[in-house]
Amino acid sequence: MPQWVIDYVLLHELAHLLVAGHNAAFWQLLEAYPDTARAKAFLEGVSFATSRGLTPAGDEMGDDDVDDDADSESPDWN
């Protein structure tokens, strides 16, 4: 997973310490992170692909031993 996506997920969860739901106040907090829209789109793409049984090339579902490239922008999907 790219570092900017990991950063977004961490900020998303930290924002829940201040705002419980996903209301306007919550999203306003996350607007401060410049890659919010990009990270959300990336995660939506991953969700779409995995819901159809697709995984990055060389990766097995649940395989934690794969050496992920944190700077990878777009994995090769099978």
pLDDT digits (tens, 9 = 90+) for 10-20: 999 999 999 99
Are residues 63 and 29 in contact, defined by beta-carbon separation less than 8 angstroms?
no
User: Tens digits of per-residue pLDDT, 60-78?
Assistant: 555 444 444 445 555 555 4
24 found inside a domain: yes
30 found inside a domain: yes
28 found inside a domain: yes
69 found inside a domain: no
32 found inside a domain: yes
Number of domains in the chain: 1
Query: What's the confidence (pLDDT) of residue 62?
Result: 52
61 found inside a domain: no
pLDDT band at residue 56 under the 50/70/90 scheme = confident
Are residues 3 and 70 in contact, defined by beta-carbon separation less than 8 angstroms?
yes
Distance CA(12)–CA(33), nearest Å, equals 10
Tell me the whole-structure pTM to 2 decimals. Answer: 0.69
The whole domain housing 7 covers: 3-48
Q: Mean of the per-residue pLDDT values for the chain?
A: 83
62 found inside a domain: no
Higher pLDDT among residues 57 and 27, named by residue: 27
